[in-house]
Amino acid sequence: MILKHVLVLSAYLFCIGIYGLITSRNMVRALMCLELILNAVNINFVTFSAFFDNPQLKGDIFSIFVVAIAAAEAAIGLAIVSSIYRNRKSTHINQSNLLNN
Amino acid sequence: MDLSEPIHDFLLVFLGSGLILGGLGVVLLPNPIYSAFSLGLVLFCTSLFYILSNSYFVAAAQLLIYVGAINVLIIFAVMFMNGSEYYKDFHLWTVGDGITSMVCISLFISLITTISDTSWYGIIWTTRSNQIIEQDFISNSQQIGIHLSTDFFLPFELISIILLVALIGAIAVARQ
C-alpha cells in the first residue's frame, strides 16, 4: 500500500529534521532543519487529505496555512540571525548570549 | 495524477530517493551553502510529490513560496554571513551527536511500528462510507477557494494579519 511508504518517508524527514535541529551549531542550518520538519507535516497533511478526505480537501487548506506560517517564521528567524550576526560577528548557537550582560 | 501503476511507482521511488539524499545533505554537509541547495532539492521533490497525489494548488504554492521565497532567502542569508568561520571549527562526531542520533533512530523505529500496526483499510472504509457521494465537476483549486471563503474564512484572515505583522517585524528587526 502506497500510504505506508509515504508516511515512512515523512517520518524519515521529521526525524532527520529533529536530529539536525538538535546537533547543528549554525543558526541558519537550524532554520533549514525546521523547514524540513514543517515539510514532513505538510506531506502528512496532503497524503491524508488525498486518501481519506478526497472531495473535501481540508488537509490541503491546512497545508497552505502551514506554508504561510513557515514563510513568516523564516522571515523572522533570518532577521533575528542577521541582527545577532551584526552584533556578535558569528552565527553559532552557543555564542548567542546577548541577554547575558 | 492518474498515471499507470509502474510509472507511478518509478516516480515515487525517484522522488523518495531525492528526498532521502536531500535530507541527509541538509544535515551532514559541512558547508551551509551546499545544505541550502540540497534543501532546495528536498522542497522541489516535495512539490513534485504533491503533483503525484493530485493536489496541484498546494504543489504550485510549495514551488512559489518555499523554493521561490524561503529557499532564496536562506541562500541570501548564508551568503550574507561570510563563510570563513564554518570551516575552522567543523566538529567531528561527539557524544551529544551519538545520543541524539540514538534518540532520533528510536523515534523513527517507533513511528514505523506505529504506521505498520495501524489498520488503514478500516479507516478508509469508515470514512468512505459516511461521505456524501458528490461528483466533483469543479476543479481542485476552485474547491480550495470555496473552502477558504466559506468554512475557513476567519483563519484565512488571521493568517494574512500574521503574515503582515511578521513581515513588518522582520524589517524592523533587520534594519536598525
Partner residues linked to A92 by β-bridges: A26
- Cell numbers for B143, please give them: 474547491
More confident residue, A59 or B41: B41
- What pLDDT does A71 receive? 92
- Give per-residue pLDDT as tens, B107-152: 999 999 998 888 887 777 777 666 655 555 677 788 888 888 888 8
- Give per-residue pLDDT as tens, B64-119: 999 999 999 999 888 887 665 555 555 667 888 889 999 999 999 999 999 888 88
- Give per-residue pLDDT as tens, A32-43: 999 999 999 999
B75 in Cβ contact with B37 (< 8 Å): yes
**B135 vs chain A: nearest CA distance in angstroms?**
8
Spatial neighbors of B22 by CB under 8 A, at least 6 apart, are B38, B39, B41, B42, B45
A96 in Cβ contact with B94 (< 8 Å): no
CA gap B119, B121 in Å, rounded: 6
Taking the Cβ of residue A93 and every Cβ of chain B, the question of whether any pair is shorter than 8 Å is answered with no
Domains contained in chain A, CATH given: 1-95 (1.10.287.3510)
Is residue B25 packed enough to be buried (19+ CB in 10 Å), middle (13-18) or exposed (0-12)? Answer: middle
Select the residue from B14, B34, B74, B129 to test the A interface by mutation, using most A Cβ atoms within 10 A: B74
Is residue B30 packed enough to be buried (19+ CB in 10 Å), middle (13-18) or exposed (0-12)? Answer: exposed
Taking the Cβ of residue A42 and every Cβ of chain B, the question of whether any pair is shorter than 8 Å is answered with yes
* Chains A, B: CB pairs < 8 Å: 199
Is residue B136 packed enough to be buried (19+ CB in 10 Å), middle (13-18) or exposed (0-12)? Answer: exposed
| ipTM of the complex as predicted | 0.90
- Give per-residue pLDDT as tens, B2-52: 677 888 888 889 999 999 999 999 998 888 889 999 999 999 999 999 998
